[in-house]
Amino acid sequence: MLIVMKPDATQSDIDRVVQVIERLGFRGHPMPGESRTAIGVTGNRGSVDPTHFENLPGVAEAIRVTKPYKLISSDLRPGRSVIKVGNATIGGGELAMIAGPCAVETPGQVFKVAEVVAASGAKFFRGGAFKPRTSPYAFQGKGEEGLKILAEVRDQFGLNIVTEAMDEHGIDLVEKYGDCIQIGARNMQNFSLLKYAGKTRKPILLKRGLSATLDEFLLAAEYIMAEGNYDVILCERGIRTFADHARNTLDISIVPAIRRLSHLPVIIDPSHASGHNYMVEPLARAGVAVGADGLIIEVHPCPEEALCDGAQALTPLQYTQLYRQLQTLHNSIHMEEAIHAPA
């Protein structure tokens, strides 16, 4: 059930609808949009009788939802969501750049990259303190010590920190030190973790699972939102296919597919999608061209010495050049769109 409020509905009209939803034993999720607020209803197993709402003040219509997802849907919020991450935003026209090393290794390594990322004009810094490694013997990340280094990056460079959590304790720690909690590809269907993330107040960067379909990806976001955290950013990071010339296959078609169904911002990770330094630039350009709201890119001061994902890391110089190129491309696409937009 989706309850669409009239454009002139007041806050008390909205509160009243939520109260009625709660009295029925369900949960109401008000989503303010550009022209009106819609209220999603979750927790109901069968259909809800629309007559409960039809005659309440401020209600335009009560619509039955037949799709498997409710809160991620453009039906609920026809415009695009703009998500606040620290002191900046993702979605809504600007191209967001999240850049930094795969893993936090040492303060020196992290600060070298942070200086370059801040100087480029990017507003977000990445770096893993908890690393999901295929081998249990590989470097697993520096844990809380790594998060403290990232918090210093925010203080010194004013960059907003995006970093992965792999379990509930990790979520608590990232909530304390970071600005955005990344849920990695391998955890996209860790439903108890998704629910826990839904109870936090920090935005969530949700990466697509290695073999997740569009519906599975959107329903994973729905898990987070159903718990009351509506600040979800989706990330396409490549999927497993038969192709073996790249680490994964970047599925750029998911960007328009998501934008058709959902109001959530979607970003591209050309680093994990390719696994190769030389592919990052062309795939990043493809991400901008296809309409992504941003990119997340790995950068290392000395890629050959990286403890994790060195082969796909850009050097600081490559990153700086790419950043300029992508902003120029993004601006020219938007100028074209503005010229061709109906008056």
Instruction: By CB under 6 A, name the binding residues for ligand PEP.
Output: 102, 128, 132, 184-186, 207, 237, 269, 272
CB of 102 to Mn ion, least distance (A): 3
Which residue, 30 or 287, has its beta carbon nearer to ligand PEP?
287
Burial of 315 (0-12, 13-18, 19+ CB in 10 A): middle
Q: Which is nearer to ligand PEP, 302 or 335 (CB)?
A: 302
269 makes contact with Mn ion (CB under 5 A): no
Least distance in Å: CB of 4 to ligand PEP? 36
136, burial (CB in 10 Å: exposed 0-12, middle 13-18, buried 19+)? exposed
Residue 299 or residue 326: which is nearer to Mn ion going by CB?
A: 299
Smallest separation (angstroms) from ligand PEP to the CB of 62 = 39
Q: Which is nearer to Mn ion, 102 or 254 (CB)?
A: 102
Tell me how far, at minimum, the Cβ of 56 lies from ligand PEP, in Å.
44
Cβ 10 to Mn ion, closest distance in Å?
48
| 8 A C-beta contact, residue 90 and residue 234 | no
SS3 track for 106-135: CHHHHHHHHHHHHHHCCCEEECECCCCCCC
CB of 257 to ligand PEP, least distance (A): 19
Q: CB 25 → ligand PEP: shortest distance, Å?
A: 37
When CB distances are held under 5 to 8 angstroms depending on the partner's kind, the choice from Mn ion, ligand PEP, none that residue 202 binds is: none
DSSP state of 302: S
Q: Pick between residue 30 and residue 146 the one whose CB is nearest to Mn ion.
A: 146
127 contacts which partner out of Mn ion, ligand PEP, none, CB within 5 to 8 A by kind?
none
What does 179 bind: Mn ion, ligand PEP, none (CB cut-off 5 to 8 Å by kind)? none
Residue in the shown chain whose Cβ atom is closest to Mn ion: 102
Q: Residue 307 interacts with Mn ion (CB under 5 A)?
A: no
Q: Which is nearer to ligand PEP, 264 or 267 (CB)?
A: 267
Look at residue 237 and give the partner it binds from Mn ion, ligand PEP, none, a contact being a CB closer than 5 to 8 Å depending on partner kind.
Answer: ligand PEP
Of the pair 96, 307, the CB lying nearest Mn ion is at: 307
For 271, the token pair is: 């680093």
Q: Is 297 in the site for Mn ion (CB under 5 A)?
A: no
Q: Which long-range contacts (CB under 8 A, 24 or more apart) does 241-250 make?
A: 246/273, 246/274, 246/275, 246/276, 246/279, 247/272, 247/273, 247/274, 247/275, 247/276, 247/312, 248/210, 248/272, 248/273, 248/274, 248/275, 249/273, 250/274, 250/283, 250/286, 250/287
Contact of residue 185 among Mn ion, ligand PEP, none (CB under 5-8 Å per partner type): ligand PEP
Cβ atoms within 10 Å of 66's Cβ, excluding its own: 6
Quote the least distance from Cβ 209 to ligand PEP, whole Å: 9
For residue 328, the surrounding DSSP H or E stretch is: helix 316-340
| Exposure string for 71-100, b = 16+ CB within 10 A, e = fewer | bbbbbbbeebbebebbebbbbeebbbbbbb
Residue 309 touches Mn ion, criterion: CB under 5 A: yes
The residue ranges that bind Mn ion (CB under 5 A) are: 102, 309
